[in-house]
Amino acid sequence: MSAASTPTSAPGPLDERAAEAERSVQALFGGRLGRVPWTHLAQISHPVGGRPRFGGLGGVWHYWWQAHYLDAIVDAGLRGLRTGDPAGAERRARQGDRLLATIRLRNRARWVNDFYDDMAWLALASGRLGTLHGEIGRRSRQRRLRSADRHLTEQLRSAHTDDLGGGLFWSRDRDFKNSPATGPAALHLARLGDTDEARRLVDWLYARLWSADSGLVQDGIRLRSGAEVLVPDVWSYNQGTTLGALVTLGDAQSLDRAAALVAAVDSHLTDDQDGARVLRTHGGGDGGLFTGILVRYLALAAVPRSGLPDDARDVARRLVLDTADALWRGRGGLPISGRRDPTVFPLRAGGRAPEPPLELSPQLQAWTVFEAAATLS
């Protein structure tokens, strides 16, 4: 579907919340890679070293945070198409191109990373950037997108082995197979149309890591001196990618599993707050993104085209909207000289906005949640 045929509507309150989160995250964290022109990347904190300036090639590198930053930019571009702003969609597509190129540059001019889950996240985000290009009828820079897809998909397939019965290794150490790598890889392959391999990965998750007691997917299995050691931790983002893969596969078994997974999330990963059930978050650092990822795929499950039963879609919709409302209520402001004050969002639904220094991950999580909620307006 091109921009000319994409149904549009005037921006509503949920769109405006997403736009404010986009503006704020960009103002606080977005910038060039050092002094390199035509680059774009998100800094991991604000301010940096006491000054709100953007770093260069040194310092901590969070490859997978940048992938989720790209996903959020694509969300904003698709929102532009929904709300009748094709110029805004075009601008975000160009920014996504710059970000994707800069991720590769910052990663020492290569797509390959030591962690397969990192590469799966970038494969998902770059694939969605290609979708945005297609929606607006923009065909430039497709060579880079094809390169990313080819290299990243090859890496993911190489990590899917018969060790431990299937699943993806987490890293090049090849001593840990887990949900954080297997879930997004399954979703990526399902989106590519390789449903057989995607289904094998999902079946492995349910055979080896799904808990019948909670109905949730556990973290992974380590190999230690030839022995298998279950890591039973439960994280919200693993439920999200599994849910996304199930909905994308769309067969009867997958949709039954997806409906049950939505119910399990509602029962075990929420807190009661002012008469609503809001999703639990996981603080800062990497955990600052986890619930945003779950919300992204709950929103995918909530729409009629997901194929889920009405009651499961209603639960998914409620979780997305109530969590977004709670994050919005906890917002605060941050004065920046010479600029309109950005909005700062709490690390947990129902909490209060933090004081500087601010970390990218929970602010990006909030933006992701608001974009997901806007798709349900």
* Per-residue confidence (pLDDT) for residue 1, from 0 to 100: 45
Q: What value does the mean pLDDT take over residues 369-374?
A: 98
4-13, 66-75, 121-130, 260-269: range with lowest mean pLDDT = 4-13
Looking at the predicted structure, is the pLDDT value of residue 18 above 80? yes
Task: Count other Cβ atoms within 10 Å, centred on residue 168.
Answer: 28
Looking at the predicted structure, is the pLDDT value of residue 34 above 50? yes
pLDDT digits (tens, 9 = 90+) for 69-122: 999 999 999 999 999 999 999 999 999 999 999 999 999 999 999 999 999 999
Looking at the predicted structure, is the pLDDT value of residue 50 above 50? no
Give the CA distances from residue 33 to residues 29, 68, 101, 324, in Å, rounded to whole numbers and listed in that order. Answer: 12, 17, 11, 31
Q: Evaluate whether 33 touches 54 at the Cβ level (below 8 Å).
A: yes
- The contacts of residue 124 (CB under 8 Å, 6+ apart) are 67, 71, 184, 187, 188, 191
Q: Which domains does the chain have, with CATH numbers?
A: 3-374 (1.50.10.20)
Looking at the predicted structure, is the pLDDT value of residue 291 above 90? yes
Q: Strands 343-344 and 332-333: what pairing?
A: antiparallel
pLDDT digits (tens, 9 = 90+) for 294-346: 999 999 999 999 999 999 999 999 999 999 999 999 999 887 766 689 999 99
pLDDT digits (tens, 9 = 90+) for 222-280: 999 889 999 999 999 999 999 999 999 999 999 999 999 999 999 999 999 888 999 99
The structure's pTM equals: 0.95
DSSP-assigned beta bridge partners for residue 41 = 31
Q: Evaluate whether 311 touches 325 at the Cβ level (below 8 Å).
A: no
CA 157, 365, 275: angle at the middle one, nearest 5? 120
Read off the tokens for 127. 């694939």
Q: What value does the mean pLDDT take over residues 349-356?
A: 92
134-143, 198-207, 350-359: range with lowest mean pLDDT = 134-143
Distance separating alpha carbons of residues 131 and 153, to the nearest angstrom: 17
- The contacts of residue 242 (CB under 8 Å, 6+ apart) are 179, 183, 186, 202, 205, 217, 261
Count of positions (residues) in the chain: 377
pLDDT band at 12 (very low <50, low <70, confident <90, very high): confident
pLDDT band at 8 (very low <50, low <70, confident <90, very high): confident
Q: What value does the mean pLDDT take over residues 113-140?
A: 93
Q: Evaluate whether 28 touches 358 at the Cβ level (below 8 Å).
A: yes
Q: Evaluate whether 70 touches 129 at the Cβ level (below 8 Å).
A: yes
* Per-residue confidence (pLDDT) for residue 138, from 0 to 100: 73
Q: What value does the mean pLDDT take over residues 201-218?
A: 98
Looking at the predicted structure, is the pLDDT value of residue 53 above 50? no
3-state secondary structure at position 84: coil
Q: How far apart are the first and last CA of the chain?
A: 21
* Per-residue confidence (pLDDT) for residue 49, from 0 to 100: 54
Read off the tokens for 30. 């977005």
pLDDT digits (tens, 9 = 90+) for 143-190: 899 999 999 999 999 999 999 999 999 999 999 999 999 999 999 999
Residue with tokens 């945005």: 132
One DSSP character per residue, 74-93 reads HHHHHHHHHTT-HHHHHHHH
Looking at the predicted structure, is the pLDDT value of residue 42 above 60? yes
pLDDT band at 58 (very low <50, low <70, confident <90, very high): low
